[in-house]
Amino acid sequence: MIRPLTAKRLASVSGLLAALLVLVILVSLKLGAVPVSMVDLATNLGRIVIGQADHLPSEQSLIIREIRLPRILLGVIVGAALSVAGAGFQALLRNPLADPYVLGVSSGAALGAIISLVAAPRVPVAMPIAAFAGALATITAVYFLGRRGGELDSHTLLLAGIISASFLSAVIMFLMTTLSGGELRGIAFWLMGDLTSTRTPLDAGWLFLLLVLAVGAIYTTAADLNLLLTGEQEAMHLGVDVSRVKLVVYVSASLLTGLAVSISGAIGYVGLIVPHVMRLLFGSDHRMLIPASALGGAIAIVIADTLARTLVAPTELPVGAMTAMAGAPMFIYLLRRRFG
Amino acid sequence: MREAHSIPPVRWSVRCILVAATMLGSVWAQQTSPAPAPPQPAPAKIDIIDEAGRHLTVPANVRRIVSLAPNLTETIYALGAQDRLVGVTDFCDFPPEAKQKTKVGGGVNPSVEQIVALKPDLVLAAKSMNRKETVEALEQLGIPVYGTAPVTVEDVIQSVRRIGEAIGAREAGDSLSASLRARLDALKEKLAARTPRRALFVVWVDPLITIGRQTFLADALRLAGAESVVDLPQEWPRIGLEEVVKLQPEYLIFADSHSDGADLASARARELAERPGWRGLDAVRERRIAVISDAVNRPAPRLIDAIEQLARLLHPDAFVEKTADAKEKTQSRLTPANADAMPAAYPPVSGFPFPLPAGGGI
């Protein structure tokens, strides 16, 4: 079932997903330990939109503005970043199992972030930069390890990724066991995936800007990525500047992974499953897949984090556990429905 | 303490005189003589039951002790048995002299080889910190392990007494536990008419972790005239900040390695006031923040110091009728004589109170 991509279809799918994301955010804002009425929610959102600050914030507006909303927005950034990074790696490596986690890129980002926490705990900007550097270094290493006879070999690549991930995890375990700085105690939670951090490395506005820039950069290569799916040689013959596309996508996807990991630690499955689901639903044209993955990833994380904080309230679950528990069965269902 | 082994032969003449003196019924002779009894040693081994209900056989005269947790090291020092302590963990930092002892590694992952090499005749372990595997490995090698598992403050005091018994320092254990209990009784009397403060004990800020009902910390709070606003069955529940905003505790309680009272509390308040969400707590806005010694985290005799310190912060009016003299006395108890020698910053107590994925108990 291949339908040609038209501007109208792109707009309608994106619009639908964006509307769904807004709906999910509204529901998430309403749910939680403290009940919030629709009136309160509307009043607060209205005030935020017109930029009016509460002089004496009530308990409810404080919970909406300072606890739920920032967390939801971080979830949106993380979900979009991981999904687009996953879609980019899958296209570039022509491997449906590629994902920031499987390839060890997230572990590289996590190691970079941990090293920055140890080396420069007072410099908050150091953490996303170190995470980005770790991600980029890992994907470079995995890419070269995954080549056999000048060609990218799909099995070798996956093995290289898995082995890099386990090597990097071992280094992380080593650091966590030998060092005992105050900051490192929170790392065990952060490694499980955690959106509760009230200290983000950068202002949310900057994070959004970086997200949009990196996703935009990958989007400029969307048509080339479609051709790359047929093979590097073939794409080259069709006039694709393969090395430029690779550079743009590897750097941008590493930036997205570093961004996500520096905010929330290791949240698995999103980068693997969301692009797959979007491909099953809307086809594999990257001009559609990239915006759909960004919105779909945001929806997935916001739902997962809402469940993580409400299912066993007042106790909270790690959001990484939720994405894994919800993502895997959904993926199997979609796969079976399509091929069943 | 009576030494039960035989008298060196070189003291024959002394012994003869002492025996003669004893026969004459002289009281001082009994007080000063080293074991005037005929060579009839006390039982070489005694059977004891530890706090996890395990039976173990220890020498009546324990000479070499290895401690596998910081609170147990502190207890050994408090019992005055530090000369017999031959091995401690990397995290045993109190009293500061403890850092000079031979290290056997961390509490969760100590080197069994190193422990064996120290030839201990008793190893002390804590259920909250050490792993069952470590204890089993040592037992298989024939090294008796005494496990502690306090859940209440009373358990902690009992534990002090029982450790004294296990290491052959029964008198020290009895008197220390009695004095700790007397201090708690005095405190209870002072706080009898006070309403407990509704408090949140903050174990960790990011993510927010507090204490559950089945911890000695929850009990310590009660004894200090407070009650935790969170009442959950887990030991170290991770909770949402929203829940705390809803509960609005009267006080936030933090444990710090260098608690010097007001300065630290106001620094903490300033820091929290800048965090989104936290500034919505009345306790933060009105600076009702109590910072107490991190001794509260260790089930050892200093726990009682921390309870007294907390009670003083939460109910200052209960202590005002006392004279400055009495205040000074308590103050000196809070800061040990060797306060100058104390490190500026302790490394955090690993394994506590931090639910690492790899856990286990005795």
Q: Which CATH architecture has domain B195-314?
A: 3-Layer(aba) Sandwich (3.40)
CA B211/CA B268 separation, integer angstroms:
19
List, in sequence order, every residue forming a beta bridge with A315; answer none if it has no partner: B239
Cβ of A62 within 8 Å of Cβ of B277? The answer is: yes
Task: Please name the residue ranges forming H helices in chain B.
Answer: 12-23, 27-32, 70-78, 112-117, 132-140, 153-166, 170-191, 216-223, 241-247, 262-273, 282-285, 302-314, 324-334
Q: What is the pLDDT of residues B145-189, one digit of tens each?
A: 999 999 999 999 999 999 999 998 999 999 999 999 999 999 999
Question: Which positions 231-290 of B are in contact with A (Cβ < 8 Å)?
Answer: 232, 234, 237-243, 245-246, 275-280
Q: What is the pLDDT of residues B205-228, one digit of tens each?
A: 878 889 999 899 999 999 999 999
Amino acid at site A47 = R
Nearest to B214 by CA among B244, B200, B235, B237: B235
For chain B, how far is it from start to end, CA to CA, in angstroms? 32
- Which of A57-61, A256-260, A329-333: highest mean pLDDT? A256-260
Counting one residue from A and one from B, how many pairs have CB atoms under 8 Å apart? Answer: 86
Residues of B in contact with A36 (CB under 8 A): none
Cβ of B206 within 8 Å of Cβ of A32? The answer is: no
DSSP B154-217: HHHHHHHHHHHHHTT-HHHHHHHHHHHHHHHHHHHHHHTTSPPEEEEEESBTTTTB---SSSHH
Using pLDDT thresholds of 50, 70 and 90, give the confidence band for residue B332. very low
Q: What is the pLDDT of residues A138-172, one digit of tens each?
A: 999 998 888 877 777 777 888 898 899 999 999 98
Q: Which domains does chain A have, with CATH numbers?
A: 7-46+56-339 (1.10.3470.10)
Token output for B187: 């405190």
Interface test with chain B among A65, A180, A263, A307, by most B beta carbons within 10 Å: A180
Q: Radius of gyration over alpha carbons of chain A, in Å? A: 20
CA B148/CA B321 separation, integer angstroms:
39
Token output for B90: 């990397």
- Strands A147-148 and A151-152, bridge-based pairing: antiparallel
pLDDT score at A177: 75
pLDDT score at B7: 42
pLDDT score at B44: 80
ipTM: 0.74
Q: Higher confidence at residue B351 or residue A336?
A: A336
Q: Higher confidence at residue B64 or residue B361?
A: B64
Q: Higher confidence at residue B251 or residue A192?
A: B251
Buried b (16+ CB within 10 A) or exposed e, B308-341: bbbbbbbbeebbeeeeeeeeeeeeeebeeeeeee
Cβ of A59 within 8 Å of Cβ of B275? The answer is: no
Amino acid at site B104 = V
Cβ of B243 within 8 Å of Cβ of A33? The answer is: yes
| Mean predicted confidence (pLDDT) in B242-256 | 90
Run of H or E including A150: none
pLDDT score at A299: 96
Q: What are phi and psi of A6, to 5 degrees?
A: -115, 160
Cβ of B109 within 8 Å of Cβ of A177? The answer is: yes
Asked which of A320-329, B145-154, B237-246 is least confident by mean pLDDT, the reply is A320-329
User: If DSSP codes are grouped into helix, strand and coil, which group holds residue B49?
Assistant: strand
Q: Higher confidence at residue B129 or residue A24?
A: A24
Using pLDDT thresholds of 50, 70 and 90, give the confidence band for residue B251. very high
pLDDT score at B97: 93
DSSP B94-109: SSGGGGGSPB-B-SSS
pLDDT score at B268: 77
- Kindly identify which residue of chain B lies nearest to residue A185, measuring between CA atoms: B354
Chain A contact for B111 (CB, 8 A cutoff):
no
CB count within 10 Å of CB B11 equals 12
Residue B253 in this model has a pLDDT that exceeds 90: yes
| Cα angle, residue A65 at apex, residues A41 and A77 outer, rounded to 5° | 105
Nearest to A80 by CA among A245, A225, A209: A209
Nearest to A216 by CA among A127, A103, A101, A88: A88
Using pLDDT thresholds of 50, 70 and 90, give the confidence band for residue B255. confident
Residue A107 in this model has a pLDDT that exceeds 80: yes
Chain B contact for A315 (CB, 8 A cutoff):
yes
Residue A339 in this model has a pLDDT that exceeds 90: no
pLDDT score at B30: 44
Residues of B in contact with A180 (CB under 8 A): 91, 347-348, 350
Asked which of A9-23, B138-152, B284-298, B341-355 is least confident by mean pLDDT, the reply is B341-355
Domain boundaries, chain B: 1-41, 45-178, 195-314
Using pLDDT thresholds of 50, 70 and 90, give the confidence band for residue B28. very low
Run of H or E including B292: strand B289-293
Q: What is the pLDDT of residues B49-101, one digit of tens each?
A: 999 888 999 998 899 999 999 999 999 999 999 999 999 998 898 899 999 99
pLDDT score at A42: 83
| Mean predicted confidence (pLDDT) in B262-271 | 74
pLDDT score at A306: 93
Residue-averaged pLDDT of chain A: 85
From B91, B242, B276, residue closest to A198, measured CB to CB: B276
Question: Are the folds of B45-178 and B195-314 the same?
Answer: yes
pLDDT score at B327: 47
Residues of A in contact with B240 (CB under 8 A): 32-33, 67, 196, 309, 313-314, 316
Q: Is the preceding omega at residue B95 within 30 degrees of 0, hence cis?
A: yes
> Is B116 in contact with B143 (CB distance < 8 Å)?
yes
Interface test with chain A among B92, B241, B278, B349, by most A beta carbons within 10 Å: B241
Residue A333 in this model has a pLDDT that exceeds 70: yes
Token output for A173: 């375990």
Query: Sign of the CA dihedral B212, B213, B216, B222?
Result: positive
Residues of B in contact with A315 (CB under 8 A): 232, 234, 237-239
Distance from CA of A190 to the nearest CA of B (A): 9
| Mean predicted confidence (pLDDT) in A100-121 | 87
For chain A, how far is it from start to end, CA to CA, in angstroms? 15
- Contacts of the segment B42-48: beta carbons below 8 A, 24+ positions apart: B42/B2, B42/B4, B48/B146, B48/B162, B48/B165, B48/B166
pLDDT score at B321: 65
CB count within 10 Å of CB B38 equals 7
Chain B contact for A313 (CB, 8 A cutoff):
yes
pLDDT score at A75: 93
| Cα angle, residue A160 at apex, residues A154 and A163 outer, rounded to 5° | 140
- Work out the burial of residue B279: count CB atoms within 10 Å of its CB; fewer than 13 is exposed, 13-18 middle, 19 or more buried: middle
> Is B162 in contact with B54 (CB distance < 8 Å)?
no
Q: By percentage, how much of chain B surpasses pLDDT 70?
A: 75
| Mean predicted confidence (pLDDT) in A54-83 | 84
CA B1/CA A129 separation, integer angstroms:
63
Q: Higher confidence at residue B31 or residue A221?
A: A221
Nearest to B57 by CA among B67, B46, B68: B46
Q: What is the pLDDT of residues B281-330, one digit of tens each?
A: 889 888 899 888 888 989 999 999 999 999 999 999 888 765 555 444 44
Using pLDDT thresholds of 50, 70 and 90, give the confidence band for residue B336. very low
Residues of A in contact with B208 (CB under 8 A): 196
| Mean predicted confidence (pLDDT) in B319-347 | 45
pLDDT score at A286: 93
User: If DSSP codes are grouped into helix, strand and coil, which group holds residue A126?
Assistant: helix
Run of H or E including A144: helix A126-145
From B91, B240, B350, residue closest to A316, measured CB to CB: B240
Q: By percentage, how much of chain A surpasses pLDDT 70?
A: 91
CA A32/CA B245 separation, integer angstroms:
12
Amino acid at site A248 = V
CA B183/CA B305 separation, integer angstroms:
9
> Does the B45-178 domain belong in CATH 3.50.50.60?
no
CA A145 to chain centre: 25
CA B103/CA B88 separation, integer angstroms:
5
| Cα angle, residue B124 at apex, residues B120 and B129 outer, rounded to 5° | 130
